[in-house]
Amino acid sequence: MYWQDIFAPHYGDAPELPYPAIKVSLDLSNKTAIQEWIASIENPEVAAKIAKHFANKPGMTTLLLPKDNVERRGLPKEVVQAMNIRKLVYSTVRPFYLILEALGIFLVNGNNTKLVSDFVQEWETAT
């Protein structure tokens, strides 16, 4: 319902239910984060609709988006602003982290504060 109400005018109508969805991790752990996200949205119409749907939630960590719409038009820029990129990177390359752990290199913690990319950037600046 939220896709139809918020994003359909800009990113197309959602298909009939049930439909395949893409899971997006969000970095909106509390009401303050949600309010800051809403305030950062450029389109006032979209911001008002998001506020209507999500402002009273205690936090949001996941959003499911219609796969067909995302494949055709891309992720809504409003959603990209709220994405938890570190969690997305970790979940995408999780098998590689399991291999690193098998080799005795432990980087994973609950907050995804240590990613391989953090160390690669340090190595590049050191050389």
- The per-residue pLDDT for 122 is 56
Short-list 26, 16, 38, CA closest to 82:
26
Report how many domains make up the chain: 2
Residues 22 and 73 occupy one common structural domain: yes
Residues 101 and 116 occupy one common structural domain: yes
Q: What is the mean pLDDT of residues 34-45?
A: 88
Residues 20 and 45 occupy one common structural domain: yes
- The per-residue pLDDT for 123 is 55
Short-list 60, 72, 85, CA closest to 14:
72
Tens digit of each residue's pLDDT (9 = 90 or more) over 73-114: 888 888 888 888 888 888 888 888 889 889 988 877 776 667
Residues 16 and 55 occupy one common structural domain: yes
Tokens (6 digits) for 95: 């098998």
DSSP calls for 17-43: SS--EEEEEEEE-SHHHHHHHHHH-S-
**Between 107 and 29, whose confidence is greater?**
29
Distance CA 29, CA 42 (A): 21
Neighbouring CB atoms inside 10 A of 23's CB total 10
